[in-house]
Chains A and B, each alone.
Chain A
């Protein structure tokens, strides 16, 4: 049943995303086509710059689309009339949340791939080859400095990115879930919960800054010296700490959403 649910989630996302991806690739192709008429004229410059701006907007919209769709899907499918049907399925709340977040993250990855493909299309030809050459050169230069640490940094960074994607989506789910505890204006309540969370994170950030400011300078000097002497391993540590933090936050958000759906579900 979970597989079928997952398939339906993907089908929902793809119904909208395929169209958005198609538009993005079309805009990229159009932008590249405009470059065929390259010349020194005001009209060409205006059209060319406009095509670049339109392309950037298209990419931004495309990258935001899976998140927006994921939030809408989560709310509509579980907390509106559709929820009555969803919760009659032989699927636990845990599986509902899990399938939805995995589907969204998968679509985010797919959208990223399509965006990179559109960039390749937009620059296809000489420019794309030069971009690849520049990227290869930079990787070579960075590898000369970092050595074998580079490969591990890349893996750690991708893993961190994935965990952050999960964590961020689960945060939105938690805001929606907490919002539905209110009897009226649940969407507004969800937005309010998000801003409340943001405010709290800013307060914690300020507290942390104060702690940093009042810590004696000698402590920071010692920490600085340690980092400089062990810079490569400290970067691994940085990725590790933030990965654990993101994973922890994701688990917490998941647990909150799961608990509320299991015990305090209040459909419209």
Chain B
């Protein structure tokens, strides 16, 4: 009888201790819950985020696992945050929150952390000078199959790309012909701190000829700037990381038939 009472007392003691233990999944959900304030700002992880009316060329780099938060009204319990909240992506170590999906009448757009809000508003208004040029590509990964990688052009490569773009007379395409390349990269010019970025132009390799290409939109069409022979080694080195990665990823298959286009030739699309 005494032993039975001891066992029951021990079990009760264990049960009474259980409420004081936490749950990691719940802690994670709490960390990922943000609250919409009455003044339109968002409160997350102890910091206030204010909406940016204009976010110019702010850079929101694509990643496989972009951290997200769920923005809810202040009284929504954490277990309902995923269902009733609006998902927002977190960029640049929590400097920006960017809207992803919308359930309530939440404004779309970007929110900046209050401690750097004025600084970012000024920088967006002032614009920025391109300090680095880079491009993204996919490379083989044993676990994920492919992952995103970024190649930053050297000063020589960046200068060469810009020089071709600014000095070579482009070829104007006409209706009827098609330009198909074997490899293509999209160059982005950005600030050194990675906060700003905008699309510049593409570089494409068709056969053994390099082109700087620019898509002007449905009304504007396609412009081709053929890279001069003396600059080919620079462009080859520039595109090499992507070419090697793509060849490894897709077993060196060439996807398209390549055409060589001469300088001054008109390309009909």
Contacts and interface: CB of A to CB of B under 8 A. Distances in A.
B77 A137 contact: yes
B77 to A, nearest CB: 4
A121 B19 CA distance: 9
A125 B79 contact: no
Say what secondary structure dominates the interface of chain B.
Answer: helix
Interface residue range, chain A: 10 to 19
A188 interface: no
A7 to B, nearest CB: 27
A131 B19 contact: no
B32 to A, nearest CB: 14
Given A29-B15, A33-B14, A121-B15, A133 B79 contact: yes
Contacts of B24: 38
B20 A137 contact: no
A32 interface: yes
Contacts of A124: 15, 18-19
Interface in B6-24: 11, 14-15, 18-24
Contacts of A137: 75-77, 80
Contact of B77 (A33, A35, A134): A134
A127 interface: yes
B26 interface: yes
A127 B27 CA distance: 10
Interface residue range, chain B: 10 to 19
A36 B21 contact: yes
Given A29-B15, A32-B18, A126 B23 contact: yes
Nearest to B83: A134
B75 to A, nearest CB: 7
Interface string A97-127: 0000000000000000000000001001111
Contacts of B11: 29
29 contacts: A29-B14, A29-B15, A33-B14, A33-B18, A36-B18, A36-B21, A38-B23, A38-B24, A121-B15, A124-B15, A124-B18, A124-B19, A125-B18, A125-B21, A125-B22, A126-B21, A127-B26, A128-B19, A130-B26, A130-B77, A130-B78, A130-B79, A131-B79, A133-B78, A133-B79, A134-B77, A134-B80, A137-B76, A137-B80
Q: Which 3 A-B pairs have the closest CB atoms?
A: A133-B77, A134-B79, A134-B77
Given A36-B18, A130-B78, A138-B80, 9 more contacts: A29-B15, A35-B23, A125-B19, A125-B21, A125-B23, A128-B19, A130-B79, A133-B78, A134-B77
